[in-house]
Amino acid sequence: MYRTHSNGELRLKHVGEEVTLAGWVQKTRDKGFMIWVDLRDRYGITQLIFDEERTPKEMVERAKTLGREFVIQIKGEVIERVSKNKNIPTGEVEILVKELTILNKSVIPPFTIEDETDGGDELRMKYRYLDIRRNPVKNNLIFRHKVAMETRKYLSDSGFIEVETPYLIKSTPEGARDFVVPSRMNEGQFYALPQSPQTFKQLLMVGGIDKYFQIVKCFRDEDLRADRQPEFTQIDCEMAFVEQEDILNTFEGLTRHLLKEINGVEVTKFPRMSYDEAIKKYGNDKPDIRFGMEFGELNEVAQHKDFGVFNNAELVVGIAVPGGNAYTRKEIDKLIEWVKRPQVGALGMVYARCNDDGTYKSSVDKFYTQDDLAKWAQVTGAKSGDLICVLSGNADKVRTQLSALRMELAERLGLRKSNEFAPLWVVDFPLLEWDEETERYHAMHHPFTSPKPEDMTLLDTDPGKVRANAYDLVLNGNEIGGGSIRIHDKATQALMLGHLGFTPEQAKEQFGFLMNAFEYGAPPHGGIAFGLDRLVAILGGQETIRDFIAFPKNNSGRDIMIDAPSKIDDQQLDELNLKLDLKKT
């Protein structure tokens, strides 16, 4: 037996007991006649003591050779500490060591295995197995485990069945790029790794598994934006004989359950907001509603006043920054520079101060009267002491820019509190979106999403106005889940694929298996998929998913610990009947 107790377990009640412990050396303190060693495992730290008066001299000398991260086993007696440490649970006791076994030595680690480490991101990712020993990473992985277990518990108790679906599937042209896998036994043919189990979960509904779930890996070969991973984990769910409201109620329940069991927070309100309203009020389809600063559209009160910048804009829109009138001119100038960064892309920003005496001071005073500026305040909801920030230009671009500014200001003002949770359903998404590059419509979600029944007639006459029977669950400004009611009959699915540019032959080649299944009594069904990585990060009070993944990739999609992706040898290429012809860039 390597250990009788963990290193986070022993208390005063264990004084006098003989114990065996094992773990890693956190640090040593050598006072010459006495040596203390902090022994660590994932449960905590226990202090060991080697005392020349009570410990064999040979063992004391061996203790002096212990270095950081040595793996050791000790046997000894639990004694009460003279100088207690209230910062750790085991701080009232220590172990008088009687036997010491060095199980494995360690070279000096490339960074300190402590909560506040001196290792940078890339270094810690290269030695991730060491990084996991640190409490922040270890605790994040334990936290993720708890979220996954509570998810399984809730769904299982609600009658859902966990079913595994294949990882080697057929490539489809919708969505992001697939990762492809060559087949040795089928020369010249390829599998794809699933971007989601979408078609399989629909087939499970045809198969009569009316409540399915799976915590599953998904894969997307896309250019990595901030805080994305090429492989990620979904809580994938589907239900048969349901309408949208049934799904929303079920997964409100899951979200409430997780917030209560994991965070101890009771959330009762799950407001609904249409996609159009979210874009108009917040500039994006995943608004953070923990704070205000809703958009105020100023075209009617700001245009036709001899200010060409506004007059020539498709949209003039502003927000009221609470307490922003306290900003100095220098601080406002820095804010203007911030919105002009390439990442945001605004050409500039107009502002108006709302003074305590009810007057206004604007950067465009010569074009606008006090009455004009009062109307700006009315539209944006600005009060005395606030600052009105105004952007203008192309409607879609300026909403995106102001949304970025809103979030930045909220961060600076401390309005995005990690211990506050504000869920929101966004519904009534457009079914299709026009792609200027390909000059055709693409599915905003995926080609299996059902149109709103009342909008079906618009598919032929005005497809851009067709709303999807789709919904996203937003938490604290992050989309944590999204889904839809699916198409469940062959004729409608064929019609949808036709509007997406598929010929009947292409539709049959890509999705024939699904459309054939619909001919055998497919029930009405719908579902949702939660991004587990993102959900765990938000519940954990953070927004960086990489911190909650055991072995993440970097921003280039590389695993720098195992050096992947990597080349394969010529023999493997021959077996796969492949030849590399790399284009020079």
Tokens of residue 79, six digits: 């004694």
Task: Give the Cα separation of 53 and 363 in Å (integer).
Answer: 79
In angstroms and rounded to an integer, the radius of gyration of the C-alpha atoms of the chain is 30
Distance CA 191, CA 171 (A): 7
Q: CB burial class (10 A; 0-12, 13-18, 19+) of residue 34? A: middle
Q: How many CB atoms lie within 10 A of CB 477?
A: 22
> What does the alpha-carbon distance between residue 101 and residue 363 come to, in Å, rounded to a whole number?
74
Q: Is 341 annotated as a binding residue?
A: no
- DSSP count for the chain of H helices, then E strands: 17, 22
Is 174 within any annotated ligand binding site?
A: yes
Handedness of CA 116, 121, 125, 126 (dihedral sign): negative
Say whether 255 sits in a helix, a strand or coil.
helix
Q: Please, what's the b/e burial string for 418-447 (b: 16 or more CB within 10 A of its CB; e: otherwise)?
A: eeebbbbbbbbbbbbeeeeeeeebebbbbb
* Structure-token pair, residue 317: 């829109």
486 is in an annotated binding site: yes
531 is in an annotated binding site: yes
The DSSP result for 437-475, as a single string, is TTTEEEESS-TTBPBPGGGTTHHHH-GGGPBBSEEEEEE
d(CA 23, CA 10): 14
Residue 170 has which token pair?
């057929």
d(CA 142, CA 93): 26
**Torsion sign, CA atoms 333, 334, 335, 341:** positive
Q: According to the annotation, is 222 in a ligand binding site? A: yes
Is 220 labeled as ligand-binding?
yes
- What does the alpha-carbon distance between residue 563 and residue 125 come to, in Å, rounded to a whole number? 11
Distance from the first to the final alpha carbon of the chain: 59
**CA-CA distances (angstroms) from residue 40 to 8, 87, 113, 127, 562?**
8, 15, 10, 19, 26
Q: Which contacts (CB < 8 Å, 24+ apart) does range 391-395 have?
A: 391/316, 391/317, 391/318, 391/339, 391/346, 391/349, 391/350, 392/309, 392/310, 392/313, 392/315, 392/316, 392/317, 392/350, 393/313, 393/314, 393/315, 393/346, 393/347, 394/313, 394/314, 394/315, 395/314, 395/315
C-alpha distances in angstroms, 163 versus 94, 198, 284, 318? 48, 13, 34, 49
Which string of DSSP letters, residue by residue, matches 389-401?
EEEEESHHHHHHH
40 is in an annotated binding site: no
Q: Tell me: is residue 534 an annotated ligand-binding position.
A: yes
532-539 and 135-157 helices cross at what angle (nearest 10)? 110
User: Residues marked as binding for L-aspartate?
Assistant: 174, 220, 445, 486
User: Residues marked as binding for ATP?
Assistant: 220-222, 229, 479, 531-534
User: Residues marked as binding?
Assistant: 174, 220-222, 229, 445, 479, 486, 531-534
